[in-house]
Amino acid sequence: MSIIPSFFTGRKSNVFDPFSLDIWDPFQGISTALGNLPESSRETTAIANARIDWKETPEAHVFKADLPGLKKEEVKVEVEEGGVLQISGERSSEQEEKNDKWHRVERSSGKFLRRFRLPENAIMDQVTATMENGVLTVCVPKEEEKKPVVKAIDISG
């Protein structure tokens, strides 16, 4: 049963079709609207799809990015002056064949770029990056916190 009747959405649902859209989707039409944008504007839509977690451990800042389907050669990790970590790359779209009939295109393609300003305790010249199973891990070591030296003073008297 549909939440919104099909005469509001303009779509026909079919009980026997498992891929039938019989539930209202508030984001329906966004991909169509993006399809009408110029190519340069569409490329920036992939920026939001580069999901990155940033955690801080006692030893380092660790970034993990989900980049499924990308090879390490398609991803670039750079450190800029001023303590900025930049992760970028490009996911190519699949080539269409004349006889292909696409039913749905949800995987994003295009360029992505994420930048992070690192804290002053980051050691910028020791950054490492690894990629395994579509997950990019960037490790930025931290300087050790200098603990105050406490010296015991003997009390005379």
- Would you say residue 35 lies in a domain? no
Mean pLDDT of the chain: 76
- Would you say residue 14 lies in a domain? no
- Would you say residue 133 lies in a domain? yes
What pLDDT, on a 0 to 100 scale, did the predictor assign at position 13? 52
Does residue 139 have a pLDDT over 80? yes
84: domain CATH number is: 2.60.40.790
Instruction: Render pLDDT for 64-118 as a digit per residue (tens, 0 to 9).
Output: 999 888 889 999 999 998 899 999 998 877 776 777 887 877 777 788 899 999 9
Per-residue pLDDT, averaged over 129-144, amounts to: 94
What pLDDT, on a 0 to 100 scale, did the predictor assign at position 12? 53
Identify the domain containing residue 75 by its residue range.
59-92+109-144
SS3 5: coil
The more confidently predicted of residues 60 and 96 is 60
- Tell me the one-letter amino acid at 74: E
Query: What's the structural domain count of the chain?
Result: 1
* 65 Cβ neighbours under 8 A, 6+ residues apart: 50, 51, 52, 53, 87, 114, 135, 136, 138
This prediction's pTM: 0.60
Does residue 6 have a pLDDT over 70? no
